[in-house]
């Protein structure tokens, strides 16, 4: 749909722009043709991304799609720069722009068609977790917005402001560059690796905790390979369960996540004591110790591992990124010492510092 519609719109716009002498309409036509190119890139990236896994790429070739989105971002940015250069020359040397009913009709048609294409691309981009399709949807939207600006430019030129044609061309170019930068930023974050979304973590947690004897989950890690997603997390189960029983729970949860969310999951089992004696005293000690630290946000995942009379206390401390290594060591040693001294059955304290936000 994108390739055919953009090819037709781009050719018609360029022909009309040449006839009426509009640099902004010419820029809009080139923008439509660039949309056609990016759609080709999306199709090609899907084709390559479907290649099965091999020895060198055990998780498949799905990240080709993200590389394609990055290439699209560069092409979009370069196109925006070229449009600004041409439009700036038109500002310095304004040329008369003829009013054309055909141009107005094709521009209004562009706005409608490109908004439809944008919504379709966005829908499927979200549905299959495709950053390339999401990027393509924004490219369609920028074309629709630029067409609206061209309509304004044509009417302004008709009203005796021929310089508006060049100014609108510059605005379109800046908008295109901004779109390219935004796509590049989001794509780079995906390639570098980002934490799972709150929505995804909540979905996984809800599914996992529906299983009997699944007490809590934590330390979730997510990797994306195009439309394929791989996650791992720690699952707390009662320590009195047999190994085979705990393993069955992990298998059930992994299958649930695969069947319902289409995500490959690996579950690490943490055997914990379901009830923590002296919990109020333990939490009071932790809160008191951390309350004076301005770089500490909160703590979570408090649990005991081992035997009730001889246990390891484990917790995560959520801190700001400004917390130094030296301060982390000081807080950790002080809290471990206080807990071990005050709670007789705790023989070890394991603290994991996690950077978070308020």
Averaged pLDDT for residues 170-184:
81
Q: How do residues 149-158 score in pLDDT, each as one tens digit?
A: 777 777 777 7
183-192, 204-213, 344-353, range with greatest mean pLDDT: 204-213
pLDDT at 128 over 90: no
Q: How confident is the prediction for the chain on average, in pLDDT?
A: 80
Tell me whether domains 198-269 and 279-355 share a fold. Answer: yes
Question: Is the per-residue pLDDT at 214 higher than 80?
Answer: yes
pLDDT over 70 at 4, yes or no: yes
Fold of 2-192: Alpha-lytic protease prodomain-like (1.20.1510)
Angle, alpha carbons 119-106-177 (nearest 5°): 55
For 78-109, what is the HEC assignment? HHHHHHHHHHHHHHHCCCCCCCCHHHHHHHHH
Give the pLDDT score at 255.
93
Where does the pLDDT of residue 246 fall: very low under 50, low under 70, confident under 90, or very high at 90 and above? very high
pLDDT at position 97 over 70: no
Residue 225's DSSP bridge partners are 228
Given pLDDT bands bounded at 50, 70 and 90, which one contains residue 286?
confident
Cβ–Cβ under 8 Å, residues 61 and 44: no
Question: Strands 296-307 and 310-319, how do they pair?
Answer: antiparallel
Give the pLDDT of residue 60: 65
Q: Could you tell me what percentage of the chain is helix, strand and coil, using 3-state DSSP and rounding each to the nearest 5?
A: 60, 15, 20
Per-residue pLDDT reduced to its tens digit, 105-119: 888 888 898 889 889
Q: What does DSSP assign to residue 343?
A: -
Average pLDDT over residues 70-94: 78
Give the pLDDT band of residue 251 (cuts 50, 70, 90). very high
pLDDT grade for 358, boundaries at 50, 70 and 90: very low
**Per-residue pLDDT, 254:** 93
Identify the pLDDT of residue 160.
76
Residue 329 corresponds to which tokens in the numbers above?
């060591």
- pLDDT, tens digit, 9 for 90 and up, residues 18-68: 887 777 778 778 777 877 777 777 787 777 777 776 777 766 666 777 777
Name the class of domain 198-269. Answer: alpha beta
DSSP label at residue 53 = P
Q: What percent of the chain stands above pLDDT 90?
A: 6
Evaluate if residue 357 carries a pLDDT over 60: no
The answer on pLDDT for 16 being more than 60 is yes
Q: What is the predicted pLDDT for the residue at 58?
A: 65
Residue 338 in contact with residue 289, Cβ under 8 Å? yes
- Condensed to tens digits (0 to 9), the pLDDT of residues 265-282 reads 999 988 876 666 677 788
Share above pLDDT 70 across residues of the chain, in percent, rounded to a whole number: 89
Domain 279-355 bears CATH identifier 2.40.50.100 = no
Domain boundaries, the chain: 2-192, 198-269, 279-355
What's the CA gap between 130 and 134, in Å, rounded?
6
In degrees, rounded to 5, the angle at the alpha carbon of residue 147 between the alpha carbons of residues 146 and 152 is: 95
């Amino acid at each position: 749909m994108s390739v055919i519609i953009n090819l037709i719109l781009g050719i018609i716009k360029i022909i009309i722009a040449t006839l009426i002498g509009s640099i902004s309409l010419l820029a809009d036509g080139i923008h439509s043709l660039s949309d056609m190119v990016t759609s080709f890139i999306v199709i090609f990236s899907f084709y390559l991304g479907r290649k099965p896994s091999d020895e060198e790429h055990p998780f498949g070739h799905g990240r080709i799609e993200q590389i394609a989105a990055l290439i699209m971002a560069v092409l979009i940015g370069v196109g925006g720069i070229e449009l600004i250069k041409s439009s700036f020359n038109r500002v310095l040397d304004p040329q008369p722009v003829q009013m054309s009913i055909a141009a107005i009709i094709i521009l209004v048609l562009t706005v409608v068609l490109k908004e439809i294409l944008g919504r379709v691309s966005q829908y499927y981009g979200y549905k299959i977790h495709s950053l390339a399709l999401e990027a393509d949807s924004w490219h369609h939207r920028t074309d629709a917005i630029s067409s609206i600006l061209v309509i304004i430019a044509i009417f302004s030129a008709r009203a005796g402001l021929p310089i508006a044609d060049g100014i609108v061309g510059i605005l379109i170019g800046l908008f295109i560059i901004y779109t390219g930068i935004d796509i590049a930023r989001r794509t780079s974050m995906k390639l570098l690796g980002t934490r799972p979304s709150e929505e995804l973590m909540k979905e996984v947690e809800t599914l996992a905790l529906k299983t009997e004897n699944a007490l809590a989950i934590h330390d979730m890690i997510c990797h994306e390979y195009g439309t394929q997603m791989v996650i791992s997390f720690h699952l707390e189960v009662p320590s009195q369960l047999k190994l085979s029983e705990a393993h069955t729970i992990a298998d059930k949860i992994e299958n649930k996540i695969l069947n319902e969310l289409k995500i490959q999951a690996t579950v690490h089992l943490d055997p914990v004591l379901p009830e923590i004696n002296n919990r109020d005293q333990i939490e009071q000690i932790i809160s008191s110790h951390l309350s004076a630290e301005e770089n500490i946000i909160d703590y979570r995942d408090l649990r005991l591992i081992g035997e009730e009379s001889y246990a390891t206390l484990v917790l995560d401390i959520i801190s700001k990124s400004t917390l130094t290594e030296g301060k982390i060591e000081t807080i950790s040693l002080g809290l471990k010492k206080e807990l071990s001294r005050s709670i007789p059955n705790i023989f070890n304290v394991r603290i994991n510092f996690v950077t978070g936000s308020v």
